[in-house]
A and B are shown apart, each in its own frame.
Chain A
Amino acid sequence: MSMILNDEEKGMLAGDYGAGKQKAIELLIRLGNSFGAEKLSPVSYAHVSYDSCPEDFWDLLTTDVQQTPHTVTTHPSFQPELWRKWGLPVKDETVGEHRRKVKTIEQLGWIRTETCAEYLIGIIPQLGDIVSMAGSCMQVANNSLFGAKVERMGTLVSMAAAICGRTPLMGLLLPENRYASYLVELNDLNMSQWSICHYQCLGYYIGSQVPGFKPVAVAGLPYDLPFDFARALIISMPTSGAITLAHLVGITPEAHTIESTFGHKKPEQVIRVGKNEMGTTWEKLNTWHNDIVENVTFGCPHANVEDIGRIAARLEGKKIKTSLIIGASSFIATAARNRGYTDTIEKAGGHIASVCPAIWNPFTRRDIAGEKQAKSVATNSARAAHYLATVSGVSVFFGTEEDCVNAALTGRWKGVMQKWK
């Protein structure tokens, strides 16, 4: 083990702070060593994904751990008791595991934000802050949109980082690794009518074109690009690939000009995106065979109040024929309820929940919904489309928010394949 450790870290490794911290720091050291990290760095705060962490690993790492001195927040979570109220046959063991983990979280003093979009509820790292996070969507958003320093890491590693309050000083935590190496140029795309799904589609294509986790810079976007479009674009990139830092030139904090974004060097490669690339990606995300839609999924990344308001307006006074879920934090759901949106959506037959509706969608996962599993789902998120098709194994309709709401109302897909000519 070649990494330099301070006395406290040496103590953790020796087991002076208990078995959980010992196991956690061992894992961080092994990972750091494989990437040539010189030392561990303290984190400003940490973010974990507890429901997706296997319970044996969770128990291993939380053994002997008292409250942590640093803040820890949580990724989208299960609500198994709520899902039962929706009529899903959630297993007793799922309920039990969730309750046990929540109890541990309360003992640790961690804050249950239960969202992949903490920036919507005011939890935003400062420029240059070193933070450790579960969730590739959180990592890429905080790196790119706010200039925090976040390394790409898995759920289990981020759990280890939260336990120790440390992360290996490597990769994107080092300023010299944050310059863009790939340049994305947009060719002849008229973006004036674009909505969330178009930016998601673009991000999904870009992610598939960059090998590994090299930072990219996207040029040619309007300088007044709405925040919701920026986050839709960025969070879909680490789905098809591993991009964890995406600079939007003229928009994001470390991308004032193309020259400075590349550290005044030439781009390693230029990726050009035009109508052909958009059209092919759009088709690839649509994996459906017939037009029957059983579930509609929004909120990947987690929705804000405006997203929920638009969907509520489309559903006002109507009844849907499919199940419908919008992923959003409980804080946003409360704000939406105060404005009457949540009631409108629930009256129509839809639900708002703090789950990850892409990877852990309770309606499409056979291990949650059992015989009630929805076999086909419509979504306006490329990230959700990818994971619904691969993790849940259901057939997917990808289109605009309007197409998806219409599918919920009719139970049929009438969304038109976009004409990219």
Chain B
Amino acid sequence: MEIKAHVISCGEASGEAVVYRGPFSFLGDLDPMTGTVSVPRHPLQGISLVGKVFVFTTGKGSSGGDAAAWRAKQNGKMPAGIICLESEPILSGALIVTETPAVDQPEKDVFELIKTGDYVRIDANRGIIELAID
């Protein structure tokens, strides 16, 4: 199945999905040394996002989000690609500056169609999400 989406940051990515129905900040939520979610009591606490296609709702939090993403990128600890419902400028800036393939505003309900562990491909040159289902 192909889902159309809006391009945030160009490129192509594929990998196992991690799905979280909530907002996310690279500063505070992601440990830039390990690429795992570091928040106490967070539903994803301890889960690695490295090389994954991370699906969530939107960005949040401090302007340090793009600097934190940059540090994670230098350490090779960024997600492979990003799908979110509706991005915001700090999140988009973080994805553009780290050249992480990313799309938002998908035309279908990605939380219904994508589950954690599914294989997902993003073509963020054309704005397409590809799923291994019909």
Interface residues of A in 184-230 (CB under 8 A from B): 207, 211-213
Look across to chain A and name the residue whose beta carbon is closest to the beta carbon of B95: A34
Assess A31 versus B89: contact at CB under 8 Å? Given A155-B64, A212-B58, A359-B62.
yes
User: Which size bracket describes the interface of A in this complex?
Assistant: 35 or more
Partner of B66, one of A133, A156, A211, A287: A156
Residues on A lying within 8 angstroms of B by beta carbon are: 27, 30-31, 34-35, 49, 52-54, 56-57, 133-137, 139, 151-158, 170-171, 207, 211-213, 238-242, 287, 359, 386-387, 389-391, 393
Q: What are 6 of the A-B contact pairs (CB < 8 Å)?
A: A53-B67, A134-B63, A136-B90, A156-B67, A212-B58, A359-B27
The proximity string for B residues 11-36 relative to A, scoring 1 for CB distances below 8 Å and 0 otherwise, is 00000000000010001110000000
Q: Which residues of A contact B28 (CB under 8 A)?
A: 386-387, 390-391
Q: Which residues of B contact A212 (CB under 8 A)?
A: 58-59, 86, 88
Q: Which of B6, B38, B41, B92 has the most CB of A within 10 A?
A: B92
* Residue B8 CB within 8 A of the other chain: yes
Interface SS of chain B: helix, strand, loop or mixed? mixed
Q: Contact at A136–B58, with CB atoms within 8 Å?
A: no
Q: Which residues of B contact A151 (CB under 8 A)?
A: 89
Interface residues of B in 55-98 (CB under 8 A from A): 57-67, 70-71, 74, 86-90, 92-94, 96-97
Look across to chain A and name the residue whose beta carbon is closest to the beta carbon of B57: A211
A242 and B84 CA atoms in complex are apart in Å by 15
A242 and B94 CA atoms in complex are apart in Å by 14
> Which 5 interchain pairs have the tightest Cβ spacing?
A154-B66, A390-B28, A157-B93, A154-B93, A156-B66
Q: Contact at B62–A57, with CB atoms within 8 Å?
A: no
Q: Contact at B58–A211, with CB atoms within 8 Å?
A: yes
A31 and B67 CA atoms in complex are apart in Å by 15
Q: Which residues of B contact A393 (CB under 8 A)?
A: 38, 40
Q: Which of B6, B64, B74 has the most CB of A within 10 A?
A: B64
Partner of B29, one of A57, A152, A213, A390: A390
